[in-house]
Structure 1
Amino acid sequence: MDDLLAARLQMAVSLGWHIVFACIGMTMPVLMAFSEWKWLQTNKQVYIDVAKAWSKGVAIFFAVGAVSGTVLSFELGLLFPGFMRHAGPIIGMPFSWEGTAFFVEAIALGVFLYGWNRLNKWVHWLSGVVVGISGVMSGVFVVSANAWMNSPAGFTWENGKAVNIDPVAAMFNDAWLSQALHMTLAAFVATSFAVAGVHAYLLIKNRKNAFHRTAVKIALSFGAVTAFLQPISGDFSAKDIAERQPAKLATLEALYKTSKPADLVIGGIPNDEEERVDYAIHVPGFLSFLAHGDFDVEVIGLDQFPKAERPPVLITHIAFQLMVGIGFLLAFAGLLFIVLSVWRKHLLSEKWWLLFIACLTPLGFIAVEAGWTVTEVGRQPWIIYGVMKTKDAVSSMPGLQYSFYVISTVYLLLTLILIWLMRRQIETVETHYPSARNTNE
């Protein structure tokens, strides 16, 4: 294993592991605060029980996510010093704001966790709102830095150096809005359906359990709305990528030849040697419409780029298809939930429905991982798109594969510990919260 591959794999493992906690950190505090707000409105015990139970999960994931996020920040400088040497002064602002949001979130979470029965009810709820807002903003700031890597702005590149630096322009680059919107919605979709799935599975054992029934309803309400909005933000992102990164669009759609009009490819296995997609379904002209809003417009293919500057097609295309497929499945599940809630509410307690929701538990996070694969692998071979290649930014220190092995082992152990902690938390629900024991509500 060469050092470039080892460095990229380590970042992939670290980012892939941390992104789960980032999504949970953006979403769970909002669900938690919403449940407490419902308690303040109705004074029903079940809402405060759900809020308290979720707050403990938020604390666990926040602690572990803080560790993995800190590791990531160090890895970026240690594994890719060439990148940080040039990018640090340009995108330092979103990272500093992310740090500020993180500390605000930590303080507010401490107030929320230790403020039960010590603060005014509305003040306590407000601390939860601050946790939710700062969690979302923390994610947005990090995504802004990543968006800059896809759409560099705020500097002039002269003689291999960045000059005329404008940190504000860099932070609010052309890609930040579409990526931040898409990532925020993805976080809510993935986390909401995962939470609903866990509670749905527990509800199967006792379908009159008020605690799990309420938790499923709250989580699915957020998941349904965001899942319905996600394809719209995806279309916004696709049109943005078509303008800024035509090579990435051609890669994720496996469009080897520039076409006018261009077919939308569904499924299939890219064949790089013969530059075609086997076993795929082609929808005539639809890629032209999705990319540019016109069924007859030309879409640039990979044939317009040197082979050395083409992203890996197979992994990017499959990851994109997986992301889109799961996205539409969850949007369908969300729409079905809304329809049943209005016209067939009794079906939401049926075993088949609960099993369906339980089976969706991991899919949102799989889609998130696939989406980040599209974002990162689809940008290759560039670490700063069109400016610096990844191979030119990697550390010259030998033996990076050993660091990769150690980090992977540590994350595996942390995963096992986290699973044990969450199982323990779930098992204590029925003994700690009155509504979880009340089967007649």
Structure 2
Amino acid sequence: MPVTDVVIQVLAAEPAGLLPARQQMALSLGWHIILACFGVAFPAVIFTMHLIGIRRDDSDALALARKWGKVSAVLFAIGAVSGTVLSFEMGLLWPGLMGTYGDVLGLPFAFEGLAFFLEAIFLGIYLYGWDRMPPKRHLLMVLPMAVTGVVGTYCVVAVNAWMNVPVGFDIVDGAVTNVRPWDVLFSSAAFWQFLHMWVAAYMVVGFMIASVYAVGMLRGRRDRRHRLGFDVAFAFASVSAVVQPFVGHLLGGRIADAQPAKLAAFELALETESPSPLRLGGVLIDDTVRWAVDIPYLGSLIARNSFTAPVEGLESFPREDWPPVNLTHLSFQTMVGIGTLLAAAVVVYWLARWRGHDLVERRWFLRFVAVSGVLAIVAMEAGWIATEVGRQPWVVYNILRTSDAAGDNPGLWWMLAATVVVYTGMTIGAIVVLRSMARRWRKGDADLPSPYGPEEALVTTESAAGPGEGTGERR
């Protein structure tokens, strides 16, 4: 049978809502996860800068902390919209998942909602508290922001980890029973997957902030605030970039047992080999691996912590259970490649600084840092693509297929179009607002003017000392 006929038959067998649901989730999650990184890591960066300002009586550090708090508020407001969209999408796009397993997943989603509201409350207190609260008490308002941001993200990642390694329920006669939602929250898979995401969030935020100040220094802004902003952000980026390969290796070591088909796609292993090579690049075409560079033994060492342990090949699994191999493999290698590059860059920077060479004075290094934020985002997105696409064709691994979780509503294409419009508008709005704030700050405006409201008027009131005398009083 011709390949085109097979594709047509497969598409005809899929529910009408499957493709738009996949596209919309990819758009929504890929967009929202960037903002989630700032919810996780940005409060800790702000806290550090604010603490430096208080302990050293450093006005530049306090000014940066105040500005970063306002930026955090803008990102939080936009994230609130995209997060609300996602909460509705789970039920609308995947009725087969939420209708069957809603009781299992309800508790993590409830805690995520509570964490979101608490984060909003303390962000408001922190922004309003400048010049109104004692310095140390005001600083402590950042800590609940950091904690709730981490808790909320952990709950969402726990749900995703459950999709990869389902726990917390039994299936008896086709019905979900004996629901244990706490098992979902505290599974070992949730811990390791969150740890990987948590470190990735610090990489994204650290390199993004450092890239902003690197661009400023490339344009001649060599003042102390730019250097201080760069140093604090780059320190966070450096620690996370060096730690992440080790965390990723520990997480990856679990895949051989939990999701062997995903590991085979990661490694582009068509056949089971012992020892298994590390396969750089390459694609699978007509069941043949092409244009790959094999490094002997390293595949077994990295995936199985052994020089001889085999990596199970794709041929061990039914063809209908294969993930999209090329996309999974290339996404995984993109994540690893960029992560390795960023880790090497920070090691070079700190070694040079230890030897008395400040690479910030070199324009080539600033140019690299200027694009490092985008590279960190690409690495994180590639990692999520590898995780999600590599789990296919399952939405709940080995239990519920993605095609069975989707609905049969072709009208979801209109919902996808509306989501594209909304997210495009939010992206443009965020860029416009943040650039406007930056321009005003460069002009020396610490507080942005209100766009509307009554003007202050100078009124004269008669003094109690006698007629004809008065005092100027602003109302």
If the TM-score is normalised by the length of the shorter chain, which range does it land in?
Answer: over 0.9
For the 8 Å contact 1:151–1:174, the answer to whether it is kept is no
Matched AA of 2:136: W
Equivalences for residues 74-89 of structure 1 within 5 A: 74-89=88-103
Is 1:376 aligned to residue 388 of structure 2?
Answer: yes
Separation (CA, whole Å) in 1 of partners of 2:129 and 2:250: 41
Aligned AA for 1:274? D
Between the aligned partners of 1:158 and 1:305, the Cα distance in structure 2 is 26
Please give the alpha-carbon distance, in whole angstroms, between the structure 2 residues aligned to 1:68 and 1:245: 30
4+ aligned runs moved over 6 Å, structure 1:
none
Match of 1:275 in 2: 288
1:412 maps to 424
Deviates more, 1:230-239 or 1:259-268: 259-268
Look up the match of 2:171: 157
Which structure has more relative contact order (CA 8 Å, sep 6+)? It is 1
Cα distance between partner residues in 2 of 1:39 and 1:345: 27
Length-normalised TM-score, structure 1 = 0.95
Shift of 1:433: 6.6
> Are the equivalent residues in 2 in contact too, given 1:91–1:171 (CA < 8 A)?
no
* Identity score, percent: 39
Which of 294, 300, 311 aligns to 2:312? It is 300
Is residue 43 of structure 1 aligned with residue 57 of structure 2?
yes
State the SS of the aligned residue for 2:373.
coil
- In structure 2, give the amino acid aligned to 1:195: I
SS of equivalent to 2:308: coil
Residue aligning to 2:155: 141
Which position in structure 1 is the counterpart of 2:411?
399
SS in 1 for 2:141: helix
Displacement of 1:361 after TM fit? 2.4
1:57 is the counterpart of 2:45: no
Instruction: State which structure, 1 or 2, has the greater radius of gyration over its C-alpha atoms.
Output: 2
* 1:313-353: CA deviation from partner (whole Å, max 9, x where unpaired): 11111111111111011111221232233223533233222
The answer on whether the counterparts of 1:3 and 1:400 sit within 8 Å (CA) in structure 2 is yes
Q: Which amino acid aligns with 1:394?
A: A
Alpha carbons of 1:345 and 1:46: their partners in 2 closer, same or farther (altered >3 Å)? farther
Q: Aligned match of 1:221 in 226, 235, 240?
A: 235
CA offsets, 1:109-129, max 9 Å, x none? 011000001111111110012
SS at match of 2:282: strand
| In structure 1, distance between residues paired with 2:56 and 2:319 | 62
Q: Which has a greater percent of helix?
A: 1
- Range that drifts further, 394-403 or 124-133: 394-403
Contact (CA 8 Å) 1:207, 1:349: kept in 2 or not?
Answer: no
**In 2, Cα distance between the equivalents of 1:91 and 1:361?**
33
Match of 1:5 among 19, 26, 29: 19
Distance 2:101 2:434 in 1: 38
Q: Which residue of 2 aligns with 1:385?
A: 397
CA distance in 2, matches of 1:213, 1:177: 36
Q: Report if aligned partners of 1:323, 1:371 keep a CA contact under 8 Å in 2.
A: yes
Counterpart check, 1:194 vs 2:220: no
Counterpart of 2:276 in structure 1 is: 262
Take 2:400 and 2:416, find their aligned partners in 1: how far apart are those partners? 23
Q: Distance in 1 between matches of 2:180 and 2:89?
A: 25
How far apart, CA to CA, are the structure 2 residues paired with 1:134 and 1:61?
A: 16
Instruction: Choose from 318, 330, 334 the match for 2:342.
Output: 330
Question: C-alpha separation between the residues in 1 aligned to 2:21 and 2:260?
Answer: 26
1:432 & 1:113 partners in 2: Cα distance?
19
What is the SS of the residue equivalent to 1:383? strand
1:437 aligns with none
**Deviation sequence 1:15-65 (CA, Å, 0-9, x none):** 011001001111111111110000111011110011011111100000000
- Distance across 1 between alignment mates of 2:378 and 2:268: 21
Tell me what 2:34 maps to: 20
Determine the C-alpha separation between the residues in 1 that align with 2:150 and 2:181.
Answer: 21
The aligned amino acid for 1:290 is I
The CA RMSD measured in Å over matched residues stands at 1.4
**Is 1:248 aligned to residue 256 of structure 2?**
no
The CA deviation at 1:429 is 2.1
Q: What is aligned with 2:199?
A: 185
In the alignment, what sits opposite 1:421? Answer: 433
Give the number of aligned pairs. 432
- Counterparts in 2 of 1:335-350, with a 5 A limit? 335-350=347-362
Residue identity in the other structure for 1:129: L
Given the alignment of the two structures, is residue 114 of structure 1 paired with residue 100 of structure 2, yes or no? no
Gaps of 5+ in 2: 1-10, 447-475
Instruction: Tell me the equivalent position of 2:325.
Output: 313
CA contact (8 A) 1:200 1:355 kept: yes
Q: Is the 8 A contact 2:184 2:190 kept in 1?
A: no
Using the TM superposition, give the Cα deviation of residue 3 of structure 1 relative to its aligned residue in structure 2, in angstroms. 2.3
Take 2:352 and 2:175, find their aligned partners in 1: how far apart are those partners? 58
- What is the letter of the counterpart of residue 88 of structure 1? G
Q: Paired residue for 2:139? A: 125
Q: TM-score when scaled to structure 2?
A: 0.88
